[in-house]
Amino acid sequence: MFGLGTVINTGAVVIGSLAGITLKKGIPENCRQILMQSCGVATIFIGAAGVLQKMLVINNGNLETQGTFLLIFSMVLGSLAGEVLGIEKRLENAGEFLKKKLHTEGDSQFVEGFVTSTLVICVGAMAIVGAIEDGLTGSCSTLTAKSILDFVIVLIFASTLGKGVTFSAVPLFLYQGGITCAAAAFGDFMSTSLINNIAYIGSALIFCVGVNIAFGKKFNVGNMLPALLIPVIYSVAQGLF
């Protein structure tokens, strides 16, 4: 069924985060900190593995890399564009808006929970590839597997960061649903190479999110999101020239 994967994923995020909020009071502060650090380290390796899976190739028995320049240009140009547009600030403002609408001004972690969770569950390779797969073939197997992972991730996030995590389900639904619809409409123009390029750039962003979770905020990952568009521009340019 078209779009079923995103519906399942959104439901898993809502249920997982509500379970985490329920558990929050029963988890000591020191345990919350170690859970966040552990989740951060796991996210780092998930991101690194996604990048290396696409960039490392064996050629005549030798281990080589591919796509290095695309990674560099995507991160540099995308980050610059995002900084100019102030995407990270806009995400934070969205969190603040929800916070006021829900009358939770006293929750100091609401915005952090919303932004962090949104970036983790939306940016990864599985979100992109799974949503495209759903749009092209109607298969939701990848997004179903992602739903299980996201359930665990948001449960941990919500148990440490609170209610803001729950509302990351909204941008997830819009983001993955949008990709699925785009894939259904324009799938004939999307090559395997383009999908792979978008996926490993997304994994690089996931790596940065993991660093932020484990070690405190080091990267404005929200401002790096336009990096995902550079492979699309590159693919179009290749087709034209």
pLDDT tens digit string along 48-86?
Answer: 988 998 888 888 888 888 889 999 999 999 999 999 999
- State pLDDT tens for residues 132-141: 888 887 888 8
Average pLDDT over residues 153-161: 87
In angstroms, what CA-CA distances link 44 with 32, 119, 210, 211? 18, 13, 4, 6
| pLDDT, position 186 | 78
pLDDT tens figures, 87-138: 989 888 888 888 888 777 777 788 888 988 998 888 877 788 788 888 887 8
Predicted TM-score (pTM) of the model is 0.80
Statement: residue 37 has pLDDT above 80: yes
- Residue 108's pLDDT is 79
173: phi then psi, degrees, rounded to nearest 5: -60, -45
Average pLDDT in the chain: 86
* Structure token digits, residue 169: 């389900």
Name the domain count of the chain.
1
Question: What amino acid occupies position 209?
Answer: V
The pLDDT value recorded for residue 74 is 95
pLDDT at residue 24 tops 80: no
Strand-pairing partners, residue 59, are: 62
Q: What distance in Å separates the CA atoms of residue 105 and residue 9, rounded to the nearest whole number?
A: 28
Domain range for 73 is 4-240
Amino acid occupying residue 116 = T
